[in-house]
Amino acid sequence: MPLWTAPFPGPELLRDGPLTGPDRPILEGYLDDARATLLNICAGLTAEQLAARPLPTSISLLGLIRHLTKVERVWLRIRAAGEDVANPYPETDSDFDGVRAEQAEAELAAYRAECRAADAAVTDVSFEHTVEVRGQVLSLRAIYVHLITEYQRHNGHADLIRESLDGVTGR
């Protein structure tokens, strides 16, 4: 039986968004690109490599996948869309600390499914819709900007981890 490796992102995430026009399609495109970048960084690695912590930090690529699964669910499904779904990693740092290589394939599938569910949850929610988070009022538009920023920060971490694992850069 061949060794499982993380797949490359599929066509559902490899789409370019517009660079002019209304905010929503632009921000959706940037979020899709950030998601695809994370999957590209992980692609081709084994479960053990995804779970490895090659740098002096508690962060692994699989931990980042788990963390961003939580981020997608909390920000888009729970906060923006008001869905009554559980936080997948409710304990502080459990998304980073509970990483097990044997769960890598399932965790990656859960991340991809969460991205689809998060997109579906906010499809009909206006960008002007607001929610209160820790005393601040944010629009769905601001939530998208927050998510893109969160991904870009963590994709930088992911780049460093990937390079330290096998020397691959520029994904």
Which CATH number characterizes residue 65's domain? Answer: 1.20.120.450
Whether residue 1 lies inside any domain: the answer is: no
Give pLDDT tens digits for 41-59. 999 999 999 999 999 998 9
Give me the domain span that covers residue 142: 23-166
pLDDT of residue 98: 87
Number of structural domains, the chain? 1
Identity of residue 166? D
The structure tokens listed for 48 are 């053990």
Whether 124 maps to a domain, the answer reads yes
Report d(CA 137, CA 18) in Å as an integer.
27
pLDDT digits (tens, 9 = 90+) for 62-105: 999 999 999 999 999 999 999 999 999 988 889 999 899 999 99
Kindly report the number of other CB atoms within 10 A of residue 126's CB atom: 11
Whether residue 91 lies inside any domain: the answer is: yes
- Predicted TM-score (pTM) of the model is 0.94
Does 13 reside within a domain?
A: no
Within-domain flag for 101: yes
Q: 128 in a domain, yes or no?
A: yes
Q: Is residue 8 part of a domain?
A: no
